Chains A and B, each alone.
Chain A
Amino acid sequence: MENAITMKNVCKDFKILNRHEGLKGSIRDLFSRDYKTISAVKDVSLEIKKGEIIGYLGPNGAGKSTTIKMMTGVLEPTSGEIMVNGLVPYKERTKNSERIGVVFGQRSQLWWSLPLIESFKLLRDIYLVPKKDYEDMLELYRSLVDIEPILHKPVRQMSLGQRTLSDILAAFLHNPAIVFLDEPTIGLDVSMKSKIRDLIKGLNQQKGTTVILTTHDMGDVDALCKRIVIIDEGKKIYDNDIEHLKSYFGSYRTLRIRHADDTWEERVIDESKEDVMDVILKKQKEQKIKDIQLQEISTEEVIKKIYEGSSAAKGNSSVVTSDEKKGAAEQ
């Protein structure tokens, strides 16, 4: 299948002025040519297929936004190649933006004072959406989510959840090939989160839209993404299916044991090293066990382990891809 996005050895450096302290330092800075270079993205290669929902993860400051900005054509990469929908985004920013949609978490891109339906009409005109396509899209929206209560409400009067919903709807309105969602569920309540996840999933299935989802919410990832890409300190450290993620770090489970005095003991068991049943039997010989619980390790904990692991192994540039993962499992 054709790629929606291809990145080859993409790097992005920022030049930042070395600032000096104090008044003297500030004056020196005025004339200073003393720049330091910061690499925000280091040699990232990535292929994203049409119609995929990709979870794009990484700790704060890992280079996620910078990558997205390069894909949307706002920033030019320092080196490497990017193709989005067959275009070089920074060279053809306008043309590229016709075929992408962008939602940046808490920054609404709608007209603040206008009712949502008027924003939709303006977007229809800006993107030159044919009347029929526009009507069909609204019909699809109606089938996926209850839009009537927000349609005639000015954006400034909306709750955060309604605003996010509106922003997502607006991003899909011109039926773009790719939609970038940056932390779409940040700050939302549980029911709104699930509503938004359903909407994204529905639109992805109905329209075949490729979705690049940046988030810190593992609930989003579990609900939507089959494949995740993790970057840290500008480097890609994981790129594979979400199922492989758990096994990559060994299959961990948490065993909780309730003793006779009703206290709980917790133990993380690495199943490649020891068997859960053995542990239970051993424990039972030592003391009376009232109850046991066995918990699968959550995606959140795995991701945490990956973040911690990657900052511990600084400078190690190994990237986990599906081929290498097999090797890792064998070891």
Chain B
Amino acid sequence: MSETTLTKQKTRRGFGFYLRIYKKILVQDLKSKMSYRADFVISTFGMIMTNLSGFVTFLILFKNFPSINGWDYYHMLFLYGFSLVALTPVQCFFDNNWNLRFQVQSGDFIKYCFRPINVFFYFMSEVFDVKGLGQFAFGIGTLVYAWIHIGIPVTPLVIAKLVLFLLTASLFMIAIMNAAAATCFWIVGSGYVMVIMFRFKDFAKYPSNIFHGVFRILFTFVIPIAFVAYYPSLAILETDNIPVLTWCAPAIGVLFFYLSYKFWMLGVSRYDFTGS
């Protein structure tokens, strides 16, 4: 291989390259998952049941409290659906974060460092969790249902806003999980950090203004769970009085994701790979 072809190759590994590679891995992965039919059916069924039970709990709770802090039943439902959709990308594309600490501790993680592609991308591309798709369908259904009952007009602008703020919300959850998973490069008990962070996501489906001062500040500025549904959804639900934090959310989301990625990669570079 000559030097000129090498440099040419390097410039070709851009966004399009990664997208193409991911698509190919995804198609192959889905093919192989479908070939394990029983596994596929059972996990799909399990996922539906999980969502259904969560939904039923939610219904029972809010049938008994018709309104909380000015949030009525359909608004709560909207928020619930919004959070489900926003949590889909972290579930589908970043699920391998859960395996990070095992691979780091066993030393298997080293294999991701031998390829001429981004380590973070390579690691995440290995797992696509199909269960997230069911959650996505469920979330969209809930969202549409609530949308119709609240009577929000359907205009291209509103749809664009919805997509933008759903993506924003996803970035926050992805960033939280990246950061939580990356702690395994420094500490042994990182599993707890991940579980705690993952549990926090349950608070995302409630409007932040029902929480008391300390928690509201905690969920907004320390662990930004409030950005996973509450603040972004206000962009659709409110017509005026939209908080400044909502408008800032997309920028903060991108920044937060970038920082979590840098933190993750810092872990990789600091890691000694002694576990061999």
Enumerate chain B residues within 8 angstroms of A74, measured Cβ to Cβ. Answer: 110, 113-114, 273
B114 interface neighbour in A72, A114, A118, Cβ under 8 Å: A72
| B108 x A126 contact (CB < 8 A) | no
Q: Give A98's nearest chain B residue, CB to CB.
A: B116
Q: How far is the CA of A128 from the CA of B33 in the complex (A)?
A: 27
Pick the contact of A114 from B32, B117, B274, B276 — CB < 8 Å?
Answer: B32
Please determine whether B273 and A109 come into contact, CB atoms closer than 8 angstroms: no
Q: Nearest chain B CB to A261's CB is how many angstroms away?
A: 52
Listed stretches B6-14, B82-90, B132-140, B222-230; interface member: B6-14
- Determine the residue in chain A with the shortest Cβ distance to B108: A107
Closest A residue to B25 by beta carbon equals: A122
- What range describes how many residues of A lie at the interface? 20 to 34
Contact B116 A121 (CB under 8 A): no
B28/A114 in contact, CB under 8 A: yes
Assembly CA distance A102 to B24 (angstroms): 23
B115 touches A97 (CB 8 A): yes
The answer to whether A104 and B115 touch across the interface, beta carbons within 8 angstroms, is no
Are the C-beta atoms of B32 and A122 separated by less than 8 Å?
A: no
Q: How far in angstroms is the closest Cβ of chain A from B12? A: 7
Main secondary structure of the interface of B (DSSP, over half): helix
Q: Which residues of B contact A113 (CB under 8 A)?
A: 28-29, 32-33
Q: Interface code A68-106, partner B: CB below 8 Å = 1, 0 otherwise?
A: 010011110000000000000000011101111010100
Partner of A14, one of B21, B114, B272: B272
- List residues of chain A with CB within 8 A of the CB of B33: 113
Q: Would you call A126 and B274 a contact (CB within 8 A)?
A: no
Q: Among B24, B126, B276, which residue has the most Cβ atoms of chain A within 10 A?
A: B276
- B residues near A (Cβ < 8 Å) are 1, 6, 9-10, 12-13, 20-21, 24-25, 28-29, 32-33, 108, 110-111, 113-117, 126, 272-274, 276
> What is the interface of chain A, defined by CB distance below 8 A to chain B?
14, 65, 69, 72-75, 93-95, 97-100, 102, 104, 107, 109, 111, 113-114, 118, 121-122, 125-128, 154, 175
